Structure formats: C-alpha cells, structure tokens
C-alpha cells in the first residue's frame, strides 16, 4: 500500500507517493532525477549512496521511504550554492581526488558529515570517519588529502 | 538467454587484438549537426560517418592506413577542436591523455579540445580499452591526426599568403606569417570548404611528432576535463542515463551455475501494475516504472521457479588448487627443459604457489540502458569494448551492426572486468518487448556471481643454485592463469617457463595486469627463497642476475629511496621488509614494503609501500601517480584479503560483507617514485604497478618471521600456527 511522504530535498519540499519500503536511493534517482547519488552495493557497506538526512550521513540504499517523512535530505547536487562549489568539492578537485569518480559523491557527503562533527580532524579521524566508503580505483591517499584540505578551507 | 556463465570461458589474454585491416574510405555527401554525448555540438560535413563503416572487425591498433583526418578531428567555428577516439574512460585517464595528445600537436591549449569517446556512430574502431593499450596504441594515432591537420592548415595558409610554409608560426590555434603579420585562426578555417576537403586526406602515420623535450601540454598534470561534473554529481555514468518513459529491468538468475529453468508461474508478476514480463527460453526478465516494482515482480516469479540443478564439478575454493592441478593440460609444455641445470645444481629448491579467484568489483556494477527507435538500437553501456558489444548486440538481434549504436559514458571503473555488455543485452531484450527504453543495472550480488573472475592458479617452481650461489636453473609452470609476465627477467642459463590451461570451474577473464599478478607473486617470492638459500641479500641477489637496465633502475631507485640496506639490517620478528620487481606491458616496477607482524593475533599489517615505476615519457604525472597509488592499494587487496568463496556452483561471499576489499584503514604510507624515461615511447601505466606489491609483502613477512606464505591471499592466521 503506497504512502504519501513529504520531505525536503536540497531545500525544496517534495511530496512522494510510493511504497514505504522503497529505498530513498531509488526515489532520489528515479523520481527526483538526482542521479549523483549512486548505487554501489545495496547493503549499506560501500557508502556510494550516502546522503545527509537532517545533517547526519545515511546510506540511502537501505533507508526506506517510511523513514524519510518530514526529513531534510542533502544530496551531492545540493552542496554547491549558487554556482560556487562547496569547499569539499573544491578540495577534491584541487587534490585530483577522483579517478572514475563513481564513489566521489558518497565520499564528499561522508566528508561533509565528518567535518561537521570534527572541524579539525587528525588523519586518524579522517580515516575512521571515511572508512565506510569504498573506492575501488583506490584513490584513498588523495581523498584523505582532500578532506584535510577541505577542513582547512572550512575553518577559514 | 540466461548467461550460462560457467560454460563461458573468457580467455585471460583476450585483450590482445589483431591489427585492423586496411579499409577503403569512401566519401558520403552529407552534412548534419549532431550533439554528442558530452554535450558537444559537432557539424559533420561529408566524411564523419567513419564510425559506422568499419566492416565489422575490431581494430585495436587504432592507427592505420587509410583513415582520413576527419575521422579523428574536426574544427569547430568557436575555435575548439573536436577529436574522436574509440577508447573508453573508466577512471584511468584516457580522456585526458588523448586530449593532451591532440592539443600538443595542434598547438592549442588543453581546454580547446573537445573529445568524443566511445560512441560507435562517430568514433573510429579503436578496439577495446584494455591491456594498457591506449597510451601506446591510441595516443600516437591521435597525435598523427592532429599533426597532419596542423600541417594541412599551415600549408593552406601558406598557399593563401603565397608564403613559405616553414616561415609560418602556429601557436594557440593561430597561424601567423611573421613577415607580414597575416593571421588565420582555426576558428576561421573551420568555415573553409577547402579545409573540409583537405581533411579527407589520410592521416600521415610517419609525420614528425613533437619531441618530448618540446612538450607543453603532454607531460603536464592537466586535470580531467569533466572532473567538475564528478564532484557535483552532474556526470551521467552509464547507470545514470535516463531516457523518456524509461522502465527499470531485473532478470531472473539461476540459483547456481548451469541450473536450467523447468517451470515458473508468471501470473503474479504479470498482474502487477505496469509490469512488463518477458519469457523467452531461459531468459525471464521484468520491467516496470520503478526498480522497486521490477524487483517485486522478479521476486514474485522467482519464488515459483523450479530449477533443474546441473551436476557441479566437485570443487570449492578450498579444493580449487588440487582440482586445477588434476585438470592441468600439462602436454602443452614447451620451452627448454631444465633437467640438466637442475641436475648440475649444488642446491635445488621447489615450491608451489597458489592464488584464489578474485573479482574486479568496480564501484559501478554492470549497467546498460537500451532504446529502440526506427529499427535502430541505441545502448548506453558500461563496457570496455564498444565495438565488440555492438557486434554482439547486432548478432543477438539479427541486425546489421550499422543499426546498433553503443555509447559508453565515462564509466565507474573496470579493471579488465567489463569486456562484455550483458546488462545492455538484457536491457535491449526488455526494451524491445516493453516498447520503451529500459535500464538494467546489476546488483552487487549479480556482479559478484555472474561477472567473471581473475583466474585462480597453481604455480609450480623449481630452481637450482651452483656452488657459488648463482642461479643456474629455473622451471616455472603456471596452471590456469595465463602467461603474462611469466618470463623470468633474470639471467639463468637453464630456464623453462610455461603457461598451461586447466578446467576452470568459474568463468574467468582479464584482470588488472592479467596473469602478471600471479606470475610475479610466485616468481618474486621464489627468487627470494633462492636468495635465502644462497645466503644472499634479496636486492643483491636480484641485481647479480639482472641485466635489464630499466628494471635495474627502478630497483636501485626504490632501494635507495626506501633505505633498503639499513632497514634490512633492522628487521625484527615484528617488523619485516621485503622487495620485488617486475616488468610487463613495456613498463617496469619495483617495490619495497614494511610489514608489522602480530603472530599471536595472526595479523599482517602493511605499514609502508615505496614503489618506483617507469613507463617511458610520462604523459600526465598527477594521473600516473593516482594510477600507481591505486594499483598499490588494489594489489594489497589481492595480497591480503580478497578471495571468491564458492561451492556447489554458488558464490558464497557475493557481497562486501563477505568479500573484503581494501578500505581507508588498510592504506599504508605510500611513497611513489615516477621515473621519467624520455628516450623511448610511452607505455601504459594503469596495470603493471599492481604486480610487485604482493610478493614484496610476502618477502617482508618471511624476513620478519621466517615463514614463507605461498598462497594469495596471504592470511595472517597461518603465522599463529607456524
């Protein structure tokens, strides 16, 4: 039985009528055409589908719509403001912290959540905070550099 | 068609391709404007249907005979230049290096180049993107095309101005006659019908290319042109492509390899709102407006399915190595027999190395979007061989290849694992019946089960030392994995290396550096064993037997950088160092690693990897650094954790919970030294840097513990027992 869910996506209120068990990931990608959020594993273990829900990182592939009501969702498409990139996005570009780029959205959102909690993380804290995200091109070294650089930018 | 994967054998060496046949170029009098994948507007005059007239054979060399300039290159009126390549971008940097190549020879800044890749309607057949072949096989033809175009444009200007062509200067896309200050820009020339005519001339394959010492764009760390779209989420990967009225598809899979469908009740699935159900022979697929509903339809049908389970070979991941040995086709043995050397040796050693099946696990699983329109099929697919995918689709639907268009948007990783496009085939079947576009994006479990694997292998080694500790005999047999990098690059008077086939119970195929991961692991580990038997330092022992100056250079470079000699002396039971080297795909690599050992816990922690790599003149240092770092970490996965577990025709660990890949926590201190050797042609750099990691780790474990681990992945728990 479908339910009607109202949620805010990147600052815009959306009403979705759908199966309550349908993953948030599918609604973002299929209904909202926000394909920056990726399917990687469907089991919440790779982090490619990470979005912020009320500021906290969630794995949208294992988040059913029944849990998304009245929530505020930020996807990768919602980070840049008025054409200027978010400092984390800038840092990823400056460090060249992507190869195929498929994991990048999830990496950036996980980094956003991490830096919200820990504005001046140590490398160990970056590694611990990002460890749930997999990159198979294995650009981990440059991603850690990018998160460290982003932290510096955001403190300024 | 269910993909009867267990009977399909993908040759590990299948990335090797033949040279394309020379083709006659005929001119079609057409002018049209087309927007291509990356938003590039291209005005196509006359000749640019080269992509469609390929005679149905895969190229791969990419260069060649009669190809006209216009097949590779087109001037746009805004001063940009569109260039075309059949190669695929999957994170390795082909898009950037091919653009750099064109910019260099055209004498324009990098951002003036608009590259169109992997769209079979528009690009030449450059074969598959594999085997590190883009750099040696596709960059030179791109440079030749650009240099030919620059020559034609300069000659045209000289004729206009009645000037000596050698007196003209070309810079930033402007041709200048310095004597008269006359100028013509590429944008001006884009409107010229004479230039359009001139670009029908063949690309000059012997044209002089810019010397490495004069490179301005090549050799620099230019970032990927579309990287902004990767950080904003705007880039559409194959699985992101959305077409109007598109449905999402799922396909019924057998519960085990080779199981066949006896019966299924599709009534519940068919009753679902807007669901499309396709049942053709063994193929049962479902399409619906959402993936969720397509999955519900699949699950409703799947629970009614009755399967005839095929008898499986009695083998699992635990018994695979004896199975491969029993089924080895040893009669294929070739090469110089080494019995004489072994008989004369003062000391002989033998050892058997093994490796597990592992998987590429690109972050983007297989995906395809298919759309039928006016009897033409267009697919957007995650595949590294678009022309082969095009032929497969044409054959599958009994239509000429010209009516199949394969487009590969920059995709989410491949590592040799995306040679075919089964998801696109499935999408095309569903789309045909649904009468609308369909997207099929494999689940991770499907990818783990129905894609192919890097071969498991058994490698049998024998070696002999003379009384002075020199290596005089070498016998090396790889069972099942293939012959890449199998030759020992050492001076050994009696040497035999051979690769023999076996019966692989799992579908196997190419991997990053193919069989070289296994061959280099076994060889460099066994060399270490022989060095120990000779009482020699592993570095000295290698250098004593090594003539290849390129390998010597990277080995000596990395040893110095790592401070090998001193750190070797400081080895303890808890802290080991090891090294390894190798060559493959015309590039050379050497690595030193430090491992921390906890024998009580059975833990091997790789603390540091220092690696030197050389692949000729470096095209893009930042990109090459990324590739080398990526290879090191991917190599650690195969070295320490990755293993496909299987039994009774089923993969038992088809998820990231059961199949462990390297994560942030596993990354050691990484120090990459790129050696820029400018007096040879550039080779590809995305694969060979993976081959030295595993043996260097094993050698470091041995140095610390005296325990030789001869199987990949190297599990630390053997240290508890040893």
Q: What is the pLDDT, as a whole number, of residue B335?
A: 54
Nearest to B291 among A26, A37, A105 (CB): A26
Query: pLDDT for B415-441, tens place per residue?
Result: 999 999 999 999 999 999 999 999 999
Query: Quick check: A104 and B239 CB within 8 A?
Result: no
Q: What is the pLDDT, as a whole number, of residue A156?
A: 84
pLDDT at B224 over 70: yes
Q: What is the pLDDT, as a whole number, of residue B38?
A: 42
- Distances in Å between the Cα of B654 and the Cα atoms of A42, B314, B357, B659 are 12, 20, 13, 7
| Direct distance between the N- and C-terminal alpha carbons of chain A, in angstroms, rounded to an integer | 50
| Among candidate residues B400, B415, B441, the one where a domain is terminated | B441
> Looking at per-residue confidence, does B281 or B53 come out higher?
B281
- Nearest-Cα residue of chain A relative to residue B93: A99
Query: Quick check: B242 and A43 CB within 8 A?
Result: no
User: Could you tell me if residue B538 is inside a domain?
Assistant: yes
Report helix, strand or coil for B603. Answer: strand
Q: What is the pLDDT, as a whole number, of residue A83?
A: 85
User: Could you tell me if residue B486 is inside a domain?
Assistant: yes
Query: pLDDT for B308-328, tens place per residue?
Result: 998 888 999 999 999 999 999
Domain shared by B276 and B227, yes or no: no
pLDDT mean over B352-373: 98
pLDDT mean over B388-400: 98
CA atoms of B234 and B430, how far apart (whole Å):
27
* B642 has a chain A CB within 8 A of its CB: no
Q: What is the pLDDT, as a whole number, of residue A92?
A: 98
Query: pLDDT for B160-211, tens place per residue?
Result: 999 999 999 999 999 999 999 999 999 999 999 999 999 999 999 999 999 9
Range of the domain at B413: 238-308+366-441
Q: What is the pLDDT, as a whole number, of residue B431?
A: 98
- Among all chains, which residue has been given the structure tokens 């898009």? B95
Name the B residues in 280-319 with CB < 8 Å from any A CB.
290-293
Domain shared by B324 and B295, yes or no: no
Domain shared by B242 and B195, yes or no: no
Average pLDDT value over all residues in chain A:
97
Domain shared by B525 and B402, yes or no: no
Report helix, strand or coil for B345. Answer: coil
User: Could you tell me if residue B611 is inside a domain?
Assistant: yes
Query: pLDDT for B534-547, tens place per residue?
Result: 999 999 999 999 99
Domain shared by B106 and B47, yes or no: yes
Domain shared by B468 and B348, yes or no: yes
- Nearest-Cα residue of chain B relative to residue A146: B231
B5: how many CB neighbours lie within 10 A of its CB? 19
Query: Quick check: B236 and A127 CB within 8 A?
Result: no
Domain shared by B467 and B574, yes or no: yes
From A15's Cα to the closest Cα of chain B, the distance in A is 17
Among A53-62, A136-145, B14-23, the minimum mean pLDDT is found in: B14-23
Which residue, among A45, A38, A64, has the nearest Cα to A53 in the 3D structure?
A64
CA atoms of B579 and B700, how far apart (whole Å):
7
pLDDT mean over A78-90: 95
User: Could you tell me if residue B26 is inside a domain?
Assistant: no
pLDDT at B39 over 60: no
User: Could you tell me if residue B579 is inside a domain?
Assistant: yes
- Distances in Å between the Cα of B3 and the Cα atoms of B6, B237, B284, B507, B559 are 9, 24, 11, 11, 48
CB B50 within 8 A of CB B121: no
DSSP A78: G
| Among candidate residues B184, B212, B232, the one where a domain is terminated | B232
Q: What is the pLDDT, as a whole number, of residue B397?
A: 98
Query: Quick check: A26 and B292 CB within 8 A?
Result: yes
User: Could you tell me if residue B21 is inside a domain?
Assistant: no
* B657 has a chain A CB within 8 A of its CB: yes
State the pLDDT confidence band at B50, using cuts at 50, 70 and 90: low
Q: What is the pLDDT, as a whole number, of residue B332?
A: 57
Which neighbouring-strand residues pair with B286?
Answer: B250, B277
Q: Give the sheet arrangement for strand A56-59, strand by strand.
A: A12-18, A3-9, A72-74, A50-53, A56-59
Domain shared by B180 and B228, yes or no: yes
Query: pLDDT for B280-295, tens place per residue?
Result: 999 999 999 999 999 9
pLDDT at B40 over 80: no
User: Could you tell me if residue B314 is inside a domain?
Assistant: no
Q: What is the pLDDT, as a whole number, of residue B439?
A: 98
A85: how many CB neighbours lie within 10 A of its CB? 16
pLDDT at B19 over 50: no
Query: Quick check: A33 and B627 CB within 8 A?
Result: no
pLDDT mean over A43-57: 98
User: Could you tell me if residue B205 is inside a domain?
Assistant: yes
Query: Quick check: B629 and A130 CB within 8 A?
Result: no
Domain shared by B149 and B246, yes or no: no
Which residue, among A20, A21, A19, A39, has the nearest Cα to A29 in the 3D structure?
A39
CB B629 within 8 A of CB B565: no
Q: Which domains does chain A have, with CATH numbers?
A: 3-78 (3.10.20.30), 87-155 (1.10.150.120)
Q: In this structure, what CATH number is given to the domain that contains residue B609?
A: 3.30.365.10
Report helix, strand or coil for B389. Answer: helix
Average pLDDT value over all residues in chain B:
91
Domain shared by B254 and B212, yes or no: no
Query: Quick check: A100 and B228 CB within 8 A?
Result: no
Angle at A75 between CA A70 and CA A76, to 5 degrees: 165
Query: What's the alpha-carbon Rg for chain B, to the nearest Å?
Result: 27
* B635 has a chain A CB within 8 A of its CB: no
pLDDT at B13 over 50: no
CA atoms of B238 and B413, how far apart (whole Å):
11
Nearest to B91 among A30, A89, A137 (CB): A137
Domain shared by B425 and B457, yes or no: no
> Looking at per-residue confidence, does B161 or B26 come out higher?
B161
Per CB-CB distance under 8 Å, the chain B contacts of A142 are: 626, 629
From B414's Cα to the closest Cα of chain A, the distance in A is 9
pLDDT mean over B494-505: 94
Query: Quick check: A102 and B93 CB within 8 A?
Result: no
pLDDT mean over B59-75: 72
State the pLDDT confidence band at B722, using cuts at 50, 70 and 90: confident
| Among candidate residues B441, B471, B498, the one where a domain is terminated | B441
Name the B residues in 34-93 with CB < 8 Å from any A CB.
90-93
Number of domain units in chain B: 3
Domain shared by B221 and B249, yes or no: no
From A90's Cα to the closest Cα of chain B, the distance in A is 8
Q: What is the pLDDT, as a whole number, of residue B333?
A: 59
């Amino acid at each position: 039985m479908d339910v009607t869910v109202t949620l805010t996506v990147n600052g815009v209120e959306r009403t979705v009528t759908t199966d309550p068990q349908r993953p948030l990931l599918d609604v973002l990608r299929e209904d909202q055409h926000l394909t920056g959020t990726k399917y990687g594993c469907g089991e919440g273990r790779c982090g490619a589908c990470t979005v912020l829900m009320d500021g906290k990182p969630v794995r949208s592939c294992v988040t059913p719509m029944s849990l998304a009501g009245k929530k505020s969702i930020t996807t990768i498409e919602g980070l840049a403001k008025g054409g200027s990139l978010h400092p984390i996005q800038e840092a990823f570009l400056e460090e060249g912290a992507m190869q195929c780029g498929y994991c990048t959205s999830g990496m950036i959102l996980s980094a956003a959540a991490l830096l919200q909690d820990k504005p001046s993380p140590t490398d160990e804290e970056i590694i611990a905070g990002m460890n749930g995200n997999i990159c198979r091109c294995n650009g981990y070294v440059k991603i850690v550099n990018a998160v460290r650089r982003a932290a510096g930018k955001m403190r300024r | 068609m269910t993909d009867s994967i267990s009977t399909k054998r993908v040759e590990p060496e299948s990335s090797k391709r033949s040279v394309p046949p020379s083709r006659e170029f005929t001119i079609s009098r057409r002018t049209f404007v087309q927007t291509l994948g990356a938003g590039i507007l291209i005005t196509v005059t006359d000749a640019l249907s080269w992509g469609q007239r390929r005679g149905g054979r895969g190229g791969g060399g990419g260069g060649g005979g009669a190809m006209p300039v216009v097949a590779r290159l087109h001037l746009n009126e805004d001063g940009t230049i569109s260039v075309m390549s059949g190669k695929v971008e999957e994170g390795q940097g082909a898009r950037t290096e091919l653009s750099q190549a064109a910019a260099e020879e055209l004498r324009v800044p990098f951002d003036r180049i608009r590259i169109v890749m992997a769209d079979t309607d528009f690009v030449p057949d450059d074969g598959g993107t594999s085997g590190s072949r883009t750099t040696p096989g596709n960059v030179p033809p791109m440079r030749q095309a650009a240099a030919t175009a620059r020559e034609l444009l300069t000659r045209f200007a000289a004729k206009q101005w009645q000037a000596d062509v050698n007196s003209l200067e070309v810079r930033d896309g402007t041709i200048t006659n310095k004597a008269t200050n006359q100028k013509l820009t590429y944008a001006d020339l884009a409107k010229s019908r004479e230039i359009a005519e001139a670009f029908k001339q063949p690309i000059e394959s012997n044209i002089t290319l810019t010397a490495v010492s004069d490179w301005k764009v090549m050799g620099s760390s230019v970032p990927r042109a579309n990287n902004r779209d990767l950080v904003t989420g705007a880039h559409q990967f194959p699985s992101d492509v959305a077409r109007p009225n598109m449905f999402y598809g799922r396909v019924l899979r057998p519960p085990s390899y080779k199981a066949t469908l006896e019966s299924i009740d599709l009534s519940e699935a068919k009753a679902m709102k807007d669901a499309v159900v396709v049942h053709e022979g063994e193929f049962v697929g479902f399409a619906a407006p959402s993936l969720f509903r397509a999955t519900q339809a699949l699950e409703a049908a799947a629970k009614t399915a009755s399967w005839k389970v095929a008898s499986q070979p009695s083998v699992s991941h635990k018994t695979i190595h004896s199975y491969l040995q029993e089924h080895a086709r040893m009669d294929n043995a070739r090469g110089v027999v080494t019995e004489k050397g072994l008989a004369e040796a003062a000391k002989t050693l033998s050892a058997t190395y093994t490796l597990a099946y592992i998987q590429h696990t690109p972050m983007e699983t297989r995906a395809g979007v298919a759309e039928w329109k006016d009897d033409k099929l267009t697919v957007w697919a995650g595949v590294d061989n678009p022309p082969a995918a095009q032929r497969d689709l044409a054959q599958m639907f009994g239509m000429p290849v010209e009516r199949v268009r394969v487009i590969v948007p920059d995709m989410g990783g491949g590592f040799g694992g995306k040679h075919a496009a089964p998801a696109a085939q499935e999408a095309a079947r569903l789309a045909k019946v649904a009468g609308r576009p369909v997207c099929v994006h494999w689940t991770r479990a499907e990818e783990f089960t129905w894609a192919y694997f890097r071969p498991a292998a058994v490698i049998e080694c024998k070696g002999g030392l003379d009384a002075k500790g020199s290596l005089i005999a070498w016998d090396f047999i790889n069972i099942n994995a293939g012959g890449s990098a199998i030759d020992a690059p050492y001076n050994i008077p009696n040497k035999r290396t051979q690769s023999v086939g076996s019966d692989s119970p799992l579908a196997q195929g190419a991997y990053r550096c193919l069989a070289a991961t296994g061959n280099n692991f076994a060889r460099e580990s066994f060399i270490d064993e022989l060095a120990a038997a000779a009482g020699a330092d592993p570095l000295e022992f290698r250098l004593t037997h090594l003539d290849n100056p390129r390998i010597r250079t990277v080995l000596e470079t990395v040893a110095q950088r790592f401070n090998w000699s001193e750190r070797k002396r400081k080895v303890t039971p808890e802290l080991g160092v090891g090294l390894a080297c190798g060559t493959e795909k015309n590039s050379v690599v050497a690595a030193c690693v430090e491992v921390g050992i906890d024998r009580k816990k059975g833990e091997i922690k790789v603390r540091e990897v220092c690696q030197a790599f050389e692949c000729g003149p470096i095209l893009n240092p930042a990109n090459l650094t990324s590739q080398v770092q990526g290879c090191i970490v991917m190599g650690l996965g195969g070295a320490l954790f990755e293993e496909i577990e299987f039994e009774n025709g089923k993969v038992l660990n088809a998820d990231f919970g059961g199949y462990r890949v390297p994560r942030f926590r596993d990354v050691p201190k990484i120090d990459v030294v790129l050696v820029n050797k400018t007096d040879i042609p550039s080779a590809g750099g995305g694969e060979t840097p993976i081959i030295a990691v595993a043996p260097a780790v094993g050698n470091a474990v041995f140095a610390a513990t005296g325990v030789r681990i001869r199987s990949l992945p190297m599990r630390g728990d053997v240290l508890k027992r040893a």
